Amino acid sequence: MVQGFDALVVGGGLTGIAVACGLLERGLDTAVLDEGDVAFRASRGTFGLVWLSGKGDGMPHYVDWTRLSTELWPEFAAHLQELTGVDTEYAKCGGLYYCLGDTHFAERMGVLERINAVAEGPGVIYEVWDRPQLLKQMPMVGPDVTAAIYCADDGDCNPLRLLHALHKAFKMRGGVYLQNRKVTALGSQGARTVVTAGQEKFQCDRLVLAAGLGNIQIGALIGLTVPMAPSRGQILVSQRVAPVLPMLSHVIRQTSEGSIMFGDSFEDVGFDATVTPNVIGDIARNAVRTYPFLKSVRIVRAWGCLRPMPHDRYPIYDAIPDLPNAFIVNSHSGVTLAAVHVNALAAKIADGDLGPDLACYRMGRFDVQKIA
Ligand SMILES: Cc1cc2nc3c(=O)[nH]c(=O)nc-3n(C[C@H](O)[C@H](O)[C@H](O)COP(=O)(O)OP(=O)(O)OC[C@H]3O[C@@H](n4cnc5c(N)ncnc54)[C@H](O)[C@@H]3O)c2cc1C
């Protein structure tokens, strides 16, 4: 028997479930097909930043897109909590980017100035804090921290609670979540897309491939090369300690339970999610340089996790050739962009047209230009 839906989303990570919630909100009868525990799942090993500053160097629209998401986040989080009772612990608390020396500072300022030079909207609004100013706010920083760049738009959330809240909202609104359904074939019948998962077949009027790294394999089923690769990040988690960090940085945050999380390596090691002592050592050393008190805090956990990383680090939003009303969605900032994925992106997919403003995220941007 073939099951039919208005919309099918492949992948139940943060990206897929956010888009699925948005499609449901727009009145589409929506199902999510999700591979389950054996798949690589970035959304279960992520850090939790809802972060704007530094995003969009070389892609002006991405600054506005990320800003839109950070602006939508407060209402998005409140709405999710009202509906599901799950607090995502979202806080727009402002974020610090620590600079360890003058060269580091100059590099970061270069990034922010390039972004703002071409930004269409307000760009990144930031303050430079010299060391005396920083010490007033964060007296625990180490002597190697020479300055910090503060952005009031940055914040964080508990990403596992976010994932849980979105899944709960999806089911409460009548969405159909089908686990252990690995998509194994794609095709079409008239104006509808046909999706095969093992022995089962599904038909839909809208298809969204949001399977993270799984999109590489699914793309290959239809001859589509998805321009992305895994990027490993390793994270360390400390024992719980009394509140000690009133502000978060782009690589160190204290959770509501008291643990301090740090890390954020970007490693090009293929499909290998293991934890490696050399990288963990580097992360720990940098963290202690930033906050020397961490030397006496016990680490209780570490993990490695693979980001679904488009080759230029910007999202992929595109229509899939030869399949009716089918779209591909990948992003390596699925926490930050969750609010805009539920709202603006889902609205465009529901309309069946991503529109000109998202054209910069099409896969064609990676095509090699032919020399005449
Ligand atoms: C260490 C680390 C730190 C990060 N920190 C941040 C951060 O601070 N802020 C931020 O915004 N982002 C951060 N990210 C990125 C963010 O976690 C990802 O962008 C996001 O989780 C991607 O979600 P996804 O749904 O696209 O992919 P995934 O979470 O990987 O989900 C993909 C889903 O697709 C399913 N699937 C795969 N293949 C198939 C198939 N054939 N059929 C059916 N289902 C399939 C899988 O089961 C899985 O559930 C971080 C990532 C990592 C690894």
| Judgement on whether residues 109 and 130 belong to the same structural domain of the protein | yes
My answer on whether 358 and 239 are in the same domain is: no
d(CA 124, CA 102): 21
Q: Is 19 contained in some domain?
A: yes
The pLDDT value given to residue 120 = 84
216 and 329 housed in the same domain: yes
The closest-lying atom of ligand 1 relative to the alpha carbon of residue 335 is: 11
Residue 142, CA atoms < 13 Å, CB-side half-sphere: 16
Q: How confident is the model at residue 281 (pLDDT cuts 50, 70, 90)?
A: very high
How far is CA 81 from each of CA 88, 191, 255, 292, rounded to the nearest angstrom?
A: 7, 38, 18, 37
| Boundaries of domain holding 330 | 2-47+160-227+312-366
Query: Is the C-beta atom of 305 inside 6 A of ligand 1?
Result: yes
Q: Contact, 126 vs 113, CB < 8 A?
A: no
Residue at 38 is within a domain: yes
Question: Do 220 and 320 share a domain, yes or no?
Answer: yes
pLDDT, one tens digit per residue, over 77-101 is 999 999 999 999 999 999 999 999 9
Asked whether residue 83 is domain-assigned, the answer is no
**Ligand 1 pocket test, candidate residues 35, 158, 222, 328, most atoms within 8 A of CB:** 35
The domain that contains 297 carries what CATH number?
A: 3.30.9.10
Contact 156, 248 (CB under 8 A): yes
Domain boundary among 286, 310, 334: 310
Residue 63 CA to ligand 1 center (angstroms) comes to 21
pLDDT digits (tens, 9 = 90+) for 231-277: 999 999 999 999 999 999 999 999 999 999 999 799 999 999 999 99
Contact predicate 338/69, CB 8 Å = yes
Decide: 233 in ligand 1 pocket, CB within 6 A.
yes
366 and 257 Cβ atoms separated by less than 8 Å: no
In sequence order, what are the residues at sequence separation of 6 or more whose Cβ sits closer than 8 angstroms to the Cβ of residue 268? 229, 231, 232
Instruction: Let me know whether 107 and 177 are in one domain.
Output: no
| Domain edge (last residue) among 310, 337, 356 | 310
Output the CA torsion 155→161→164→165 (10° steps).
-60
Whether residue 204 has pLDDT greater than 90 = yes
298, part of any domain: yes
Closest residue by CA, ligand 1 atom 2 = 46
**Domain shared by 8 and 127, yes or no:** no
Query: Once rounded to an integer, what is the mean pLDDT over residues 201-229?
Result: 96
pTM: 0.96
Q: Are residues 183 and 236 located together in one domain of the fold?
A: no
Angle (CA) 321 343 201, round 5°: 45
In terms of domains, do 301 and 165 share one? no
Give the tens place of pLDDT for each residue, 282-331: 999 999 999 999 999 999 999 999 999 999 999 999 999 889 899 999 99
Residue-wise pLDDT tens digits, 4-39: 999 999 999 999 999 999 999 999 999 999 998 778
pLDDT of residue 35: 95
Residues 177 and 273 in one domain: no
The dihedral through the CA atoms of 346, 348, 350, 352 has a sign that is: negative
Tokens of 38: 């054996």
Each residue's pLDDT tens digit, 102-121: 999 999 999 999 999 998 88
pLDDT at 271: 96
Q: Is the pLDDT of residue 64 over 70?
A: yes
Residue 191 belongs to domain with CATH number: 3.50.50.60
CB atoms within 10 A of CB 332: 21
| Overall number of domains in the chain | 3
Q: pLDDT band at residue 370, thresholds of 50, 70 and 90?
A: low
Instruction: Provide the pLDDT confidence category of residue 371 given band limits of 50, 70 and 90.
Output: low
Q: Is residue 65 part of a domain?
A: no
Domain membership flag for residue 64: no
Q: Which atom of ligand 1 is nearest to the CA of 234?
A: 1
326 lines ligand 1 (CB under 6 A): no
Shared domain for 306 and 317, answered yes or no, is: no
The verdict on residue 173 lying in a domain is yes
Tell which wins on pLDDT, 261 or 369.
Answer: 261
Overall average pLDDT of the 206-213 stretch: 98
Instruction: Residue 88: name the closest of 165, 173, 168, 169 by CA.
Output: 165
Cα angle 263, 343, 313 (rounded to 5 degrees) comes to 35
Average pLDDT over residues 162-189: 96
As a whole number of angstroms, the distance between CA 200 and CA 301 comes to: 39
pLDDT of residue 368: 63
How far is 320 from 328, CA to CA, in rounded Å? 7
Closest ligand 1 atom to Cα of 214: 38
Looking at the fold, whether 204 and 341 belong to one and the same domain comes out as: yes
In a domain, residue 62? The reply is no
- Specify whether 202 is located in the same domain as 242: no
Q: What's the chain's average pLDDT?
A: 95
